[in-house]
Amino acid sequence: MLDRITPRCQRREVHADLAGGWEAAPVAAGFDAARPTGWLAEGLFFYLTEDAVRRLLRTAARLRARALFGADIFGTGLLRLPSMQPLIHQRHGSNQPQPFCTDQLGELLAACGWRTDTLVHFGQPRPTLGDYPTSP
């Protein structure tokens, strides 16, 4: 979607292995922690373990001065849907972790170094975010 609009900021794709130490990759690509930053983890967290999600959030929190973080994170009710059961059983049978879901989003973000004063849940009206928030 971003390819179809004219950006008003600089956008850089950085390829990194999120399971390992990826902090150096954005810095090597010119990332400037002093500038406002937007992090987007769309369609990602569901495929990571909880530990990997926490590491990613903590690392991004350490790298930013002023930032917004956007992610789609499913609640645990998703794992109880009948359509999810084949995936749940397949992962269990092959000793793979279950898809990441949480019902404590605010607590997760706060524990990983993010302010949670503007959380938007699916189905709720979007807030006007205005300027980037100041980091705590």
- Asked whether residue 2 is domain-assigned, the answer is no
Q: Is residue 75 part of a domain?
A: yes
Helices and strands of the chain, counted as H and E runs: 4, 2
- Residue 29 inside a domain? The answer is no
Q: What is the mean pLDDT of the chain?
A: 81
3-state secondary structure of 114: coil
Quote the DSSP letter at residue 67.
E
Is 82 part of any domain? Answer: yes
Domain count, the chain: 1
Residues whose CB is less than 8 angstroms from the CB of residue 100 and which lie 6 or more positions away in sequence, other chains included: 45, 46, 47, 48, 49, 50, 52, 53, 73, 74
Domain residue limits at 85: 37-115
Q: Is 107 within the bounds of a domain?
A: yes
- The model's pLDDT over 59-108, given as tens digits with 9 standing for 90+, comes to 989 887 678 888 888 889 999 999 999 999 998 899 988 889 999 888 99
In a domain, 5, yes or no: no
pLDDT of residue 122: 60
Q: Is 64 inside a domain boundary?
A: yes
Model pLDDT, residue 136: 47
DSSP 3-state helix, strand, coil percentages of the chain (rounded to 5)? 35, 5, 55
